[in-house]
């Protein structure tokens, strides 16, 4: 039985940035993303004793309010970005990226874009739907 629910934000255009990003990933990355979601949905407490072993990270400073899920394939660092809604046991996907080193991402400005999507969501624009894996 799942403890956590995963949802996707759909803009009022309508666009679903997380699905658009997912569609650009190779099959092995899509599989790793799906497995991570499945494992986390069935994990009651996401907080490992050692923070560096956690599968998510809550962001701060200019990205405060956002969270990212973490998975790597080889040297590639994949980061689905969203909102960790602890009180509802829900993770709302906004978009995603691959960290390419020295603060850059592919696509560029992914975290700034995620902040804009967060603002739209909080303003009641667009809607959410269940994320299936």
Contact status, residue 77 vs residue 86, Cβ threshold 8 Å = no
Question: What is the DSSP code (8-state) at residue 96?
Answer: E
Q: Which residues of 25-47 are buried (b: 16+ CB within 10 A; e: fewer)?
A: beeebeebbeebbeebbeeeebe
Say if residue 129's pLDDT is above 90.
Answer: yes
pLDDT band at 49 (very low <50, low <70, confident <90, very high): low
Question: Cα torsion for 34, 36, 39, 45, to the nearest 10°?
Answer: -140
pLDDT digits (tens, 9 = 90+) for 67-86: 999 999 999 999 999 999 99
pLDDT (tens digit per residue) in 4-44: 999 999 999 999 999 999 999 999 999 999 999 999 999 99
| Cβ atoms 17, 117 nearer than 8 A | yes
Domain ranges of the chain: 12-43+53-86
Residue 36 and residue 2: Cα distance in Å, rounded? 13
- Average confidence score pLDDT of the chain: 94
Rounded percentage of the chain residues whose pLDDT exceeds 70: 98
Read off the pLDDT of each residue in 90-100 and give the average, rounded to a whole number. Answer: 97
């Amino acid at each position: 039985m799942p403890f956590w629910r995963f949802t996707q934000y759909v803009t009022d255009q309508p666009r679903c940035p997380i699905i658009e990003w997912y569609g650009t990933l190779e099959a092995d990355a899509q599989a790793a993303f799906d497995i991570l979601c499945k494992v986390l949905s069935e994990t009651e407490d996401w907080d490992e004793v050692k923070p560096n072993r956690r599968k998510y990270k809550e962001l701060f400073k200019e990205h405060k309010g956002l969270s990212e899920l973490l998975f790597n394939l080889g040297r590639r660092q994949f980061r689905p970005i969203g909102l960790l809604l602890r009180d509802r046991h829900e993770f709302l996907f906004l978009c995603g990226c691959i960290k390419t080193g020295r603060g850059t991402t592919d696509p560029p400005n992914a975290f700034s874009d995620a902040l804009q999507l967060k603002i739209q969501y909080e303003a009641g624009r667009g809607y959410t739907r269940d994320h299936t894996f």
